Amino acid sequence: MIKKTLLFISALFAFSFLQAQEAPEIQNSMVSKISATWCPPCGGWGWTFFHDLIEDNSDKALLMAVHHSGDLTNSTASNLTDNFGVNSQPRFILNNDDQNASPSNAATKRMEIKNKIDENYTIAPTANAGIIAFLENNTITVQTKTKFFQDAEGEYFINVYIVEDGVVNYQASQGDNAVHKNVLRGGMAASTFGESIVSGTVSAGTEVEKEFSISVDNNWNTDKLIMAAVIWKMENNQFTFVNTHWTNTFSVPTETKDIFSADWDMQVHPTLNEGDANILINTEKQFEDFELSIFNQIGQQVAVLHEGALNKGLHTFVLNTILPKGMYLIHSSNGNAVDTRRMIIR
């Protein structure tokens, strides 16, 4: 099993080098906690409220602590705060809208925000960005591939934000060694809202690739970093949130010389589905140690469809499972021979 896993990882990274991560056709949300380390309510009710929002929504939303002032501030956080049009803290911004949360309505607002994020998740997205990150020689490099799923018009931008979890720092009402969740450390582009990807009209199916690099700050813990691609649209002199996709995993280039071409044919129908698909394997010889499995975008095995001997002939494996929306890799292997197909669950 270890050998097969290593072979899959090698094949996955080779696949990643051929193209940036495919954009998932899902609508995520973004929650920004406008905060400051000297602010007592930010470390009081706002501290608990932010933790609750992370617990409720981290699979469908990017949640960031945006420190516009204090020990953890930076120009990106300050500019985002200005863009949202708020001048106090703590404030909780869902996409671009202040949720007007307070100590007296926190329980109600927690449920309201979750419901809004769940509803957003069901909407067909205008665009989203695939993302893959590398860490080498103290430099983070992120490749993005933005895909428009609908015709659109306007000025669209993309940036990748560095978010760090578990930052130990002073916080009023928490003390000197408070452990801060999801602190916005900065953006990878020179401008807060990133680089232009579209100006004018764009057709559904259009893809735009970008690459960003940044040196690792000495204060960052690279084991706790989140790289989040955020797409913005300029409307009425304000950058409005479009979509986001993120990763907390660094890919490492791997030698693939030990991987052999598969001597079987694999097809997936349909490749774009809602969790139900047929996987066809056609082979002219028998295999003694054949494995067919499904991996998510970060290389975690989420299902095993077959493991063991496989007779020659045509085999149909039916996938009927509940998996989160996103991209998956259908991975087949026998010894050192592997074959991989992409599938998207919408």
Does the pLDDT value for residue 143 go beyond 80?
Answer: yes
Nearest to 193, CA basis, from 140, 145, 133, 242 = 242
- What band does 7 get if pLDDT is binned at 50, 70 and 90? very low
Q: What is the DSSP string of 215-280?
A: EPPTT--GGGEEEEEEEEEEETTEEEEEEEEEE--EE-----TT-EE-SSEEEEE-SEESSEEEEE
- What band does 339 get if pLDDT is binned at 50, 70 and 90? confident
Q: Is there a contact between 110 and 186 (Cβ–Cβ < 8 Å)?
A: no
Amino acid letter, residue 325: K
Residue-level pLDDT at 21: 66
Q: What is the mean pLDDT of residues 11-19?
A: 46
Does the pLDDT value for residue 18 go beyond 70?
Answer: no
Most confidently modeled range among 21-25, 207-211, 270-274, 323-327? 207-211
CA–centroid distance for 167 within its chain: 20
189-193: long-range contacts at Cβ-Cβ below 8 A with a sequence spacing of 24 or more? 189/159, 189/160, 191/157, 191/159, 192/75, 192/76, 192/79, 192/80, 192/83, 192/159, 193/79, 193/83, 193/157, 193/159, 193/232, 193/239
Q: What is the mean pLDDT of residues 290-305?
A: 83
What are the domain boundaries of the chain? 29-251, 259-345
Residue-level pLDDT at 5: 45
Nearest to 158, CA basis, from 186, 212, 127, 197 = 197
Q: What is the DSSP string of 14-71?
A: HHHHHSPPPPPS---EEEEEEEETT-HHHHTHHHHHHHHHHHHHTTTEEEEEEEEEST
Q: What is the mean pLDDT of residues 252-267?
A: 61
- Cα dist. 35→39, 69, 91, 173, 295 in Å? 7, 7, 7, 13, 37
Residue-level pLDDT at 44: 98
Domains 29-251 and 259-345 belong to one CATH topology: yes
Which percentage of the chain shows pLDDT scores above 70?
90
Residue-level pLDDT at 26: 94
CATH class of 29-251: mainly beta
Q: Is there a contact between 42 and 65 (Cβ–Cβ < 8 Å)?
A: no
d(CA 171, CA 36): 8
pLDDT tens, 216-247?
Answer: 999 999 999 999 999 999 999 999 999 999 99
d(CA 340, CA 4): 13
Q: Is there a contact between 246 and 280 (Cβ–Cβ < 8 Å)?
A: no
Average pLDDT taken over every residue of the chain: 89
Does the pLDDT value for residue 23 go beyond 60?
Answer: yes
How many Cβ atoms sit within 10 Å of the Cβ of residue 268? 18
Q: Which of 74-83, 101-110, 197-206, 328-337 has the lowest mean pLDDT?
A: 328-337
C-alpha angle 84-224-131 in degrees, rounded to nearest 5? 65
Residue-level pLDDT at 335: 80
pLDDT tens, 146-205?
Answer: 999 999 999 999 999 999 999 999 999 999 999 999 999 999 999 999 999 999 999 999
Helix (H, G, I), strand (E, B) or coil at 139: strand
Residue-level pLDDT at 153: 97
pTM across the whole model: 0.72
Give CATH for domain 259-345.
Answer: 2.60.40.1930
Residue-level pLDDT at 9: 46
Q: What is the mean pLDDT of residues 105-127?
A: 97
